[in-house]
Chains A and B, each alone.
Chain A
């Protein structure tokens, strides 16, 4: 009787316990990145720019070259690397505080310059690392430590939709919003990441995958409740799917 391996721990994931909370989407996304980078054979030519945020320790887990950036500056740092070394695949890994608050300018302008870089944008509707403060992506009415009565639009504005904003920027080629809260969505996320990297390999322009990612700790939920909450609440504000795809146009 032969035994077939259906799923094995990804090769590029270092033998180390994640520091992430139980049920956290970051862990799932790390796993997917390792799988994709391995399957696309990119380890020898890929550099990741992790941010301050819960994923600041990403370097402990992904066995690839990594350079930490200052909060929100990922797209500018990636630009510097990519311009010097165009054959390197450069991607930023950014939280929603990082990419959609402090780093909006860097992101929009890198996209507009059609930088050949990829952003993995982890939207968990809060500032995770600093203890669950309100982010630009926080849901209306959502309670956080800095919106203790729930986010109010007349004071705190609306959930900021970075994928939609970036879709009207000419330099973006591929933008998809996915989630890591179910087997189906996780598979779709993996596909989207591969596609975004392929856009960069083909030198087409800026690509981004926005990933709705559960943060059970700061949402004050059990892991499984938080995975459901993504479907129940977040998806209403942040609909899943391909938001922009100019791959065909760019190729011809």
Chain B
């Protein structure tokens, strides 16, 4: 679940809370979030964070995430 990268920031997506609305895909300025391709126990295709992204922990994904499924960290 935790995807740590060399970049300045990273996020954690709670796969079970995610409803696959893909709002974060759209708003992430670095296009760092995409479909995980796997279905969670509620039946949604959850989102996942790409390891080798340029995430700078701007926090936009967490702000827009309706499910409060994303937590953002800066190294």
Chain A residues with a Cβ under 8 A of chain B: 1-10, 13, 17-18, 20-25, 27-28, 31, 182-183, 186-187, 216, 222-224, 227
Contact = CB atoms under 8 A, between A and B. Distances in A.
A37 B19 CA distance: 25
Interface in B2-21: 9, 16-17, 19-21
A10 B63 CA distance: 11
Contact of A28 (B17, B26, B66, B71): B66
B75 A1 contact: yes
Contacts of A24: 66
A7 B26 contact: no
Contact of A5 (B44, B68, B73): B73
Contact of A27 (B44, B63, B67): B67
Contacts of B68: 9-10, 13, 27, 31
B48 interface: no
Interface residues of B, number: 27
A206 to B, nearest CB: 29
B62 A7 contact: yes
A22 B42 CA distance: 12
A8 B27 contact: no
B56 to A, nearest CB: 10
Interface in B31-58: 42, 44, 57
B23 A223 contact: yes
B67 A6 contact: no
A108 to B, nearest CB: 31
Contacts of A182: 27, 64
Given A6-B57, A31-B66, A186-B63, A23 B71 contact: no
B63 A187 contact: yes
Nearest to A9: B68
Q: Which of B16, B42, B62 has most A Cβ within 10 Å?
A: B62
Given A7-B72, A183-B60, A224 B67 contact: no
B22 A223 contact: yes
Nearest to B26: A224
Contacts of A2: 75
Given A6-B9, A7-B70, A22 B17 contact: no
Contacts of B72: 5-7
A224 B23 CA distance: 6
Given A1-B75, A4-B74, A224-B26, A183 B64 contact: yes
Contact of B66 (A10, A20, A183): A20
